[in-house]
Amino acid sequence: MSATHEHVIAKDLQSWIETPAGSDFPLQNIPFGIFRAPGRTPRACTRIGDTVVDLQVLAEAGLLAASGINKEAFHQATLNPMLAFGKAGVRRLRTTLCALLRDTNAELRDNTALRHNALVPLAQATMLLPVAIGDYTDFYSSREHATNVGTMFRGAENALMPNWLHLPVGYHGRSSSIVASGTPIRRPMGQMRPKPDEPPVFGASKQLDIELETAFITFGGKPLGQRITAAEAEDYIFGMVLFNDWSARDIQSWEYVPLGPFLGKNFGSSISPWVVTLDALEPFRAAGPAQDPQPLPYLQVPGPHGFNISLEATLQPKGGKESVICRTNFNYLYWSMAQQLAHHTVNGCNVRAGDLMASGTISGPAQDSFGSLLELTWRGTRPLKLRDGGERKFLEDGDTVVIRGHCGNNGLRIGFGEVRGEVLPAE
């Protein structure tokens, strides 16, 4: 254990469960998710390598009692009951699981019947939404992304709105259309005005896009009317997932003035199934971009609150080759998760266990680090070249988009797996 972060699992520990080289899920990760498998109802799990560990089975055998979490919480089809035990409970659970699954512990390893029941090959598991998402907020926290989009629509001199450098801009999205990785996304219908001097038309979006994002999931917050400070915000963050906020740019550009995104966003967003805790990411903590002007006091927090997470998006046409279209990093975000949550609650807004807060598109300074096709093709004026010789301005039916993310240094890799979705034709 780290001398200063006792909740961080030492990088030299190994599990008795086989872990392929370069896996996103070594013993040091211990993410949480919900799965189902033949003969099993949906339930809580973790993952080591390519093995799903059934937490319901372990709880029933009494092996998770040290966590202090009631065993009934592991029987549920969402992680929300587990989140009721807060960060301290989840830390105890990760410590308990680390001890149980490390290579020197024979308690589960040498119990053949119990081990066989508790371990499920990943190929036999279907991963589901990890939490019941009550509310969803999407921020707009990448300065590069905001500058690129502002330049396209308002010109370079007015790229950032006057408030952008003073607060984390965000809007409330639609939680009912957030789906698990692997769920297809149907091309949306809506109003557009392709010619500014003619009336709007109705039809299928012709400018379907991705937004490469991450998101964090909250524990239960404070009562309505009380705020979470920036200094304590991370105590209310359960963990992170990858997030693809699919966007219909032509619908969005016609509707967004004056109240912001609506139908151009709420038809579908995809999240990865494994929630990676901030404790697992602690070794990769980093200082984010310098903030100038200095934020107001309620948004100031000492120490680094970014994370060095490498992110990439790929596009694969139906029957074609997968092409990497973007490589970026979480640490480009101007506003940290702690600042986002502090701003979200500074007016007394309450958050609940399982609420989801997305980062907004994460773009870097180089063209190949832009996190959306809107930017990569500069609003369709510079088509993107694919490996199989094709081109894309925006997504076509049959395209599959995959977002992946991981951290790595000194031989330790902690990752998120992937979030994947295929575009289906409009109805």
Complete DSSP assignment for 44-84: EEEEETTEEEEHHHHHHTTTTGGGT--GGGGGSSSSHHHHT
Query: 384: which strand partners?
Result: 392
Q: Which residues of 283-317 are buried (b: 16+ CB within 10 A; e: fewer)?
A: bbbeebeebeeebeeebebeeebbbbbbbbbbbbb
Q: Which of 145, 305, 343, 344 is catalytic?
A: 145
Question: Measuring CA to CA, how many Å separate 318 from each of 267, 271, 315, 398, 408?
Answer: 22, 21, 10, 5, 32
Cβ atoms of 207 and 380 closer than 8 Å: yes
Take residue 366 and report the two structure tokens written for it.
Answer: 């180089």
d(CA 261, CA 136): 13
Give catalytic status of residue 145 as yes or no: yes
d(CA 2, CA 264): 46
Cβ atoms of 148 and 370 closer than 8 Å: yes
Whose CA is closest to 171, among 247, 259, 244? 259
Residues annotated as catalytic are 145
